[in-house]
């Protein structure tokens, strides 16, 4: 029986390995992690991450051919194929701080693999890493190899949170990069055989190592670029009276452009887009390509601009001050159908409003109070380190309360900000909400999910990203 071990039981390691176990009953899969609480949660009824469909997949194979363990070294030693799916955060200090990927966790995993291995292994890069990481990993592995042979493959993951199970069950493509030597190609074939259990052969792409590593960064950069492009257009729409949804629909009908990923928003969030683009920028700079670096950096800059612009709209619309005013924040996760808050635009929006002394009442159906308070207290990039290295106790914020109901959050509020596009926010009783708010009552829809006309009929002053401006908001235009 082929044995797979995955180091890192996170958003990628957990679901990907669960899918491999489900589709390959002839393979034993063990997911290991240094975090004891995380492994305990994977072995419990309360999985550590919220992902539609994940519970069913885990329950179908856990303790049959899928195991979660903290015995990292033991399971790595026994495995034929070792996936590495650990954190690759943005460096916070030293050379490349604020841009380069911090490979501390990757390197320590590689050293451990080298130390404990007693048989030949295929080591698979599942984490998103800078181009040429495989070369560094090879050096670490072969340095103390004791006659053992390692083959490094790059097999980046393209799943998106909230749709991870669907993405894994029916991937657009699986990408495997390997050395172009006979041994390298043998390793590629072995990994291909794993995916071939359920992925059609024409969707399993094989390339050289560097193409696979770079394709992952490129894919995220292209996706994020589409969002920044439509968000840049949303600002122009507001100034001209165009409607960003109509513009997105019109351009998306061009089959060369396509309709997906053109939803204007308060800004993209998530653990990877910003991190991976900054990493790409750094790689360009290191390769003597400052113009290319500058081009990609703009994608992140427009995203920051969009979040700031949203806060400015809120403050300027509400008589240029939110000091002492209650603002309801509906949604804190970086997108719907996940409890993940890493780099969520909610953090920047809340910081912006708190900076203007607002009183925030936050509600998200999947994010805990503890998590929200820790996020608001954390330094930039700290969130992307293993849990035991993050600040443990949430900081108390006098100006912030976290509640478990949208009606409670909006009661007596002066304004509402929709930050995550949860389905339930579309179905709320807005008449009831309006009746219980201070007047004039404002709604700032950062996701364009609400029916603007219906809300205006109720009496709300509505701002919706990239939509023709409410006369009230228009009259209070500020420089943004």
**Active site residue ranges:** 272
- Tell me if 446 contacts ligand NAD by CB under 6 A: no
Taking the least distance from each CB to ligand UGA, the nearer of 23 and 335 is 335
Residue corresponding to tokens 């969030």: 269
> What residues have CB less than 8 Å from 249, skipping those under 6 apart?
259
Q: Which window, 153-161, 197-205, 297-305, 413-421, contacts ligand NAD (CB under 6 A)?
A: 153-161
Residue nearest to ligand NAD (CB): 10
Window 25-54: contact mask with ligand NAD (x via CB under 6 A): --------xxx--x----------------
- Tell me if 12 contacts ligand NAD by CB under 6 A: yes
Q: Which two tokens stand for residue 349?
A: 């929006």
Provide φ and ψ at 343, rounded to 5°. Answer: 55, 25
Q: Tell the smallest beta-carbon distance from residue 103 to ligand UGA (Å).
A: 16
Q: Tell the smallest beta-carbon distance from residue 87 to ligand UGA (Å).
A: 12
Residue corresponding to tokens 């513009």: 247
Q: Which does 440 bind (CB under 5 to 8 A by kind): ligand NAD, ligand UGA, none?
A: none
- Tell me if 272 contacts ligand NAD by CB under 6 A: yes
Q: Which two tokens stand for residue 397?
A: 């914020």
Picking from 422, 421, 470, the residue whose alpha carbon sits closest to that of residue 443 is: 470
The residue from 10, 162, 331, 394 that contacts ligand NAD (CB under 6 A) is 10
| Calpha distance 91→88 (Å, rounded) | 9
Q: Tell the smallest beta-carbon distance from residue 241 to ligand NAD (Å).
A: 37
Taking the least distance from each CB to ligand UGA, the nearer of 268 and 460 is 268
Q: Tell the smallest beta-carbon distance from residue 115 to ligand UGA (Å).
A: 29
Q: Which two tokens stand for residue 337?
A: 């159908």
> What residues have CB less than 8 Å from 293, skipping those under 6 apart?
281, 282, 284, 285
Question: Cα dihedral sign for 151, 120, 202, 160?
Answer: negative
- Tell me if 87 contacts ligand NAD by CB under 6 A: yes
Q: Which does 88 bind (CB under 5 to 8 A by kind): ligand UGA, ligand NAD, none?
A: ligand NAD
Residue corresponding to tokens 């910081």: 351
Do 314 and 472 meet the contact criterion of CB atoms below 8 Å apart? no
> What residues have CB less than 8 Å from 389, skipping those under 6 apart?
none
Q: Measured between alpha carbons, how far is residue 403 from residues 1, 19, 310, 331, 348 in Å?
A: 49, 35, 23, 11, 19
| Calpha distance 469→240 (Å, rounded) | 9
Picking from 36, 97, 30, the residue whose alpha carbon sits closest to that of residue 67 is: 30
Q: Which does 220 bind (CB under 5 to 8 A by kind): ligand NAD, ligand UGA, none?
A: ligand UGA
Q: Which does 262 bind (CB under 5 to 8 A by kind): ligand UGA, ligand NAD, none?
A: ligand UGA
Cα 161 off chain centre by = 7
Q: Which does 34 bind (CB under 5 to 8 A by kind): ligand UGA, ligand NAD, none?
A: ligand NAD
| Calpha distance 132→136 (Å, rounded) | 7
Q: Which two tokens stand for residue 449?
A: 């999910």
| Positions in the binding site for ligand UGA (CB under 6 A) | 128, 157-161, 220, 223, 227, 261-263, 265, 268-273, 334-335
Residue corresponding to tokens 């820790």: 374
Taking the least distance from each CB to ligand NAD, the nearer of 57 and 443 is 57
Strand partners, 368: none
Bridging pattern class, strands 415-418 and 442-445? parallel
Say how many residues touch ligand NAD, by CB under 6 A.
27
- Tell me if 271 contacts ligand NAD by CB under 6 A: yes
Q: Which does 334 bind (CB under 5 to 8 A by kind): ligand UGA, ligand NAD, none?
A: ligand UGA
Taking the least distance from each CB to ligand UGA, the nearer of 117 and 338 is 338
Q: Tell the smallest beta-carbon distance from residue 443 to ligand UGA (Å).
A: 19
Q: Tell the smallest beta-carbon distance from residue 46 to ligand NAD (Å).
A: 16
- Tell me if 383 contacts ligand NAD by CB under 6 A: no
Taking the least distance from each CB to ligand UGA, the nearer of 184 and 352 is 352
Taking the least distance from each CB to ligand UGA, the nearer of 85 and 265 is 265
Strand partners, 416: 328, 443
Picking from 197, 151, 153, 190, the residue whose alpha carbon sits closest to that of residue 175 is: 153
Picking from 271, 59, 305, 310, the residue whose alpha carbon sits closest to that of residue 159 is: 271
Taking the least distance from each CB to ligand NAD, the nearer of 126 and 313 is 126
Q: Which does 8 bind (CB under 5 to 8 A by kind): ligand UGA, ligand NAD, none?
A: ligand NAD
Binding residues (CB under 6 A) for ligand NAD: these are 7-13, 33-35, 38, 72, 85-88, 105, 108-109, 127-128, 157, 159, 161, 271-272, 386
């Amino acid at each position: 029986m082929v044995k797979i071990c995955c180091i890192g039981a996170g958003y990628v390691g957990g679901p990907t390995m669960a899918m491999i176990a489900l589709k390959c009953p002839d393979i034993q899969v063990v997911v290991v992690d240094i975090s004891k609480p995380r492994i305990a949660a994977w072995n419990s009824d309360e999985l550590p991450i919220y992902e539609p469909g994940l519970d069913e997949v885990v329950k179908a194979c856990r303790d049959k051919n899928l195991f979660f363990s903290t015995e990292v070294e033991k399971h790595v030693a026994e495995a034929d194929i070792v996936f590495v799916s650990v954190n690759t955060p943005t460096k916070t200090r030293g050379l490349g701080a604020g841009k380069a990927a911090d490979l501390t966790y990757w390197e320590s995993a590689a050293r451990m693999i080298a130390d404990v291995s007693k048989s030949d292994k295929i080591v698979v890069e599942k984490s998103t890493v800078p181009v040429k990481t495989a070369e560094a990993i090879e050096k670490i592995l072969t340095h103390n190899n004791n006659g053992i042979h390692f083959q490094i493959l790059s097999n980046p993951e393209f799943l998106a949170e909230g749709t991870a199970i669907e993405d894994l069950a029916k991937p657009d493509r699986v990408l495997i990069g390997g050395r172009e030597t006979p041994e390298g190609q043998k390793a590629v074939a072995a990994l291909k055989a794993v995916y071939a259990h359920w992925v059609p052969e024409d969707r399993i792409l094989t390339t050289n190592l560097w193409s696979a590593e770079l394709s992952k960064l490129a894919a995220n950069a292209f996706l994020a670029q589409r969002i920044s492009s439509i968000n840049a257009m949303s600002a122009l729409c507001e100034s001209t009276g165009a409607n960003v949804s109509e513009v997105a629909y019109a351009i998306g009908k061009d089959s060369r452009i396509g309709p997906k990923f053109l939803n204007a928003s308060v800004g993209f969030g998530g653990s990877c887009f910003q991190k991976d683009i900054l990493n790409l920028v750094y790689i360009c700079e290191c390769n003597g390509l400052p113009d290319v670096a500058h081009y990609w950096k703009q994608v992140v800059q427009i995203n920051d601009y969009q979040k700031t612009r949203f806060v400015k709209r809120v403050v300027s619309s509400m008589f240029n001050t939110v000091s002492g005013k209650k603002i309801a924040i509906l949604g804190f996760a970086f997108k719907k159908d996940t409890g993940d808050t890493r780099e969520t635009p909610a953090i920047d929006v809340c910081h912006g409003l708190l900076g203007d002394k607002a009183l925030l009442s936050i509600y998200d159906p999947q994010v805990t109070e503890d998590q929200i308070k820790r996020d608001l207290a954390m330094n930039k990039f700290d969130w992307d380190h293993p849990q035991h290295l993050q600040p443990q106790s949430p900081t108390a914020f006098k100006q912030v309360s976290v509640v478990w109901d949208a009606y409670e959050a909006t009661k007596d509020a002066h304004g509402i900000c929709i930050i995550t596009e949860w389905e339930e926010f579309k179905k709320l009783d807005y008449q009831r909400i309006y009746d219980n708010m201070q007047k004039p009552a404002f709604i700032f829809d950062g996701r364009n999910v609400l029916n603007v006309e219906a809300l205006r009929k109720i009496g709300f002053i509505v701002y919706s990203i990239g939509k023709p401006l409410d006369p009230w908001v228009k009259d209070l235009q500020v420089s943004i």
